[in-house]
Each structure stands twice: as C-alpha cells, then as structure tokens.
Structure 1
Amino acid sequence: MWPFSSSRDSNAPPAPAVPEHVGEGTVEHLRQQSFVTPSDTAPPEAPTAASLLQHTALDPAKLHPFANISSDDLEYLDIEDDKPNTLQGSRTALPSRGWSDDLCYGTGTTYLSGLALGGLMGLREGAARPLGIEHPTFRLRMNAVLNQVTRRSTFVGNSAGVIAMTYNIVDAIIDNARGKHDIYGSMASGALSGALFRVTSGPRAMLVSSSIMVAAAAAWTGAKRAFLS
C-alpha cells in the first residue's frame, strides 16, 4: 500500500479492546457524576512582589560591599590635573590648568585663524588675478581662486601655528622662572619667538618679526586683562 493512501492496511494491529473486568455499570456511574465547586470558597490570589518580599530579611552588606561604610571612612582621589593654574596673574575668565592647556588651545586656535585669514587673502588674490585672456571662463577663474586659497591658507596657517607654539613654550619657561605672569613676560616671549621664527632670514627680518610679535603679545595680554579678568 502507498504510505499516503486513505485505505487501511490489512496488516495494521487491531484497536485495543475494553478490559473484561470493567463492567458496564462502572462506566455508566462515572458518566453520571458531576464535579461542582462550592460557591462560598474564594478563588486563590496570585502572589505579588510585595507579598514575596514582606517577610524577607535583607542584609545591605550582602547587596553592596560599601553599604556600611560612612562618608568619613572613604578617601577620595585628589586629581591635580583638574585644578586651575595657580600662577600669579594667569587667572582669567578662560579656564586653564597650566601651560599644556595654553599650548594646545592657543596653538590650535591660532592655526585655524591663520587658515581662515589665508583663505580670505587667497580668495581676494584669485578673484583679481589676471589670467592672460580677455574674457576668462568661470572654470578658469574658479581654478585660479582655488589655487590661491590653497597656497595662502596653508602658508599663513602653518606659520601662525609655529609662532604660537614657540610663543607658548617660551612664555611658560619665562613665567615659571619669574613665578608670575604679566605683560612684560608676554612681550619678552613674543620678541624671542618672533626672532626664532625668522632666524634663518638675517638680522633685519628677525628684528621685524620680533617687533610684530612684541606688539601682538602686548595687545593680547592687554585684551585679556581688559575683557577676561
């Protein structure tokens, strides 16, 4: 026979018969019985979290190892790096933790400012630069502008970043040696950093660069005292 055929197999075992010792009276008796729940019995309630934890004794020391320790017994870490700079004359509205903050933030800010200034200079030069033809196309003019912006922005940004890094390092050395921060230390740092920046260009270029940096350092220190102190 096929396995999915609807006809019965001739070799299938016969269905189990009812035992002979079970009488017809017993079967009839069970059929007539009914099971009724009394109406005065209340249904059982489901357990809740409050009922389960009501009679349970909890030990806080087993739940948390520091539960029984008071605040007087705890020792907190004293992180020195989070303290602001305590050097005389260095406290302003801009928070600083020392020369490392001034070096990172000062160099980064000056570098980005140099990039922006150099980009504006390159934009102006590229827009006004003659291209050798009477009526240049927009594509030629855009190419000239992009070339000038790329050349000027990187030069000014890199130069400003190097000067700012040198200035902050020299200023930190002078302030630590003198024990205070004032306008005279800033001007001396500007003079040295400007001279070091143009040291390979001769005495005249060193003098010009040093003078510009002295004026810039004095202006920056005066602005900090006037607006950020």
Structure 2
Amino acid sequence: MGFLDRLTGRKPREEPKSVEQAAPAPVAEPVTSLPSTSGGLPAELRDAVPNNTLLSAAGISAPQGKLYNPYEGLATQIGTSKHAFRLPEGPEFVFEEEASVRRRDWTQHLQFYCGGGYLAGGLVGVAGGLYKFATVKPDVVTDTLKLKTNRLLNTCGSFARPFSNSCGILGLYFSGLESLYVNQLEELGVPDSVSTLLAGFSSGALFRLPRGPRQAVVAGAVGVAAAGGITALRKVFPSL
C-alpha cells in the first residue's frame, strides 16, 4: 500500500497510536500554598513586630528591645523589603535551669576570687618593689646593668611573694564564706549584700586571728569595708 500511495500521490493514512505507545499525561502535583508572607519568608520564620495598640487593648505588655534591620542601607540595592528584628535586652538561655542561675557556683566563685586575689597581690607587690628600687639607694653602688637588674628582680620578688600569697588566702576565705552564708541565709530572706559583708568580716578576722583578738577585730572591720566596696562595684559590674 505504501508503494501505490506514492504512485497515486495520496498521503498515507495515519494509524491511531495504541494505548501502550501513547505517552501518559503528566499528573499535576498538588501545590501547597505557603502562608502569607512579606519579604519572601513564611510568617513562622519571621520576627514580626507586634502591634502595640492591639497588645495594649488585650492587656498584654509589648515586648521590649531594640529594633535591628540587617538590610539597613542595602534594601534599595538588593531589592529586599524592610524587615526588623527585635533584639533582646538581656541574655537568652536555651534551658530554664541556666536562666534561673543568678550567680556563680561555689567552685567558680573560689577560682575567681582566689586567683584574682593572688594576681592583684602580685601586682601590688611588684609596684611596691619598683618604688623601693627607684627611691632607696643601695649601700654598695652597682654601676653595671647586670647587677641593677638582679637587684630589681630581688626587690620586686621580696614584695610580691607575701602580698600575692596573703591576697590569695583572703580570696579563698572570702569566696568560701560568702557561698556558705548565701546558701544558708537566702532561705531566710536575707539580702546577698548582708552575706557579703559578713563574709568580709569573717575573712579578715580569720586571717588575723593568730595575732590576737584585737588584731582580728581590726582586720574584720577592714574586711567589712572591702566587702562594701565589692558590693558597690557589683552594681556596676554584676560579674564580680
């Protein structure tokens, strides 16, 4: 039939495609509509700024914090809509146990004050040694650099060792006693500042107790004054 069709000029008949040869029609996939967005992100992923008027009418206080726009100054260049995040004023915690902690534990307290006292005493001792080296003239004039360096190191070391050891011991006493007083008196409603003052008095009195009761009382009064200074500094530097 194909040869006769060619001679007569008729077009060959197009046979219908079988069901097996027919290509299956594409199945339309269901389209999941995203929530209404602004800026190209879903509403659940955006830190939307709540309406203060609606919150006030509902009796809910509006969240506090500074608004921060990461695309400030770049929105016109990259074509991103304005979006502001509300930065928290305080630290954020993942676990509730961390958020409930208001101070260091007794081991961290011990390390902080013991190490800090030792370093502070060492710095005071080095400063005293430098002052003595600059003001006191030796009996034998040392005109060489090596002898002067040796005298400087000996003078600073003789002042720094007792100061650093004493301040480290005071920091050990103070940190341990303050943790003890806070743990025992917090349940009674006693402020933490009172526990700090008691720890200062106890630390000074315990440090000077071997020299007699009078020296212990005087050292306790000095400890109360130092603890009061620490309490005042904690209002400015809460990490103390």
TM-score by length of 2: 0.53
Give the CA RMSD over aligned residues: 2.5
2:196 to 178, 183, 186: 186
| 3-state DSSP of counterpart to 1:143 | helix
Distance in 1 between the 2:110 and 2:100 partners?
13
Q: Is the 8 A contact 1:126 1:147 kept in 2?
A: no
Whether 2:216 is the aligned partner of 1:209: answer: no
| AA partner of residue 236 (structure 2) | A
| 3-state DSSP of counterpart to 1:123 | helix
Report what 1:139 is aligned to.
146
| 3-state DSSP of counterpart to 1:198 | helix
- Structure 1 regions of 5+ residues with no counterpart? 1-77
| AA partner of residue 151 (structure 2) | A
Distance in 2 between the 1:85 and 1:157 partners?
35
Distance 1:135 1:208, change over 3 A: same
Write the mapping of 1:17-56 to structure 2, written as runs, cut at 5 A: none
Report what 2:71 is aligned to.
none
Larger radius of gyration: 1
Distance in 1 between the 2:128 and 2:99 partners?
38
Write the mapping of 1:100-115 to structure 2, written as runs, cut at 5 A: 100-115=107-122
Q: Is the 8 A contact 2:201 2:224 kept in 1?
A: yes
Distance 1:135 1:146, change over 3 A: closer
1:175-204 CA-to-partner distances (Å, cap 9, x unmatched) read 111115522211111001101101111223
Number of equivalenced pairs: 143
Report what 2:123 is aligned to.
116
Report what 1:128 is aligned to.
135
Distance 1:129 1:174, change over 3 A: same
Q: Is the 8 A contact 1:191 1:214 kept in 2?
A: yes
- Structure 2 regions of 5+ residues with no counterpart? 1-93
Q: Of the two structures, which has the highest relative contact order with CA contacts closer than 8 Å and spacing of 6 or more?
A: 1
1:31-74 CA-to-partner distances (Å, cap 9, x unmatched) read xxxxxxxxxxxxxxxxxxxxxxxxxxxxxxxxxxxxxxxxxxxx
The offset of 1:119, in angstroms, is 0.9
Distance in 2 between the 1:223 and 1:167 partners?
16
| 3-state DSSP of counterpart to 1:83 | helix
Distance in 2 between the 1:207 and 1:159 partners?
18
Q: Percent of aligned positions with the same letter in both sequences? A: 29
Deviates most, 161-170 or 174-183: 174-183
| AA partner of residue 141 (structure 1) | K
Whether 2:229 is the aligned partner of 1:219: answer: yes
TM-score by length of 1: 0.55
Distance in 1 between the 2:238 and 2:104 partners?
16
Q: Is the 8 A contact 2:142 2:148 kept in 1?
A: no
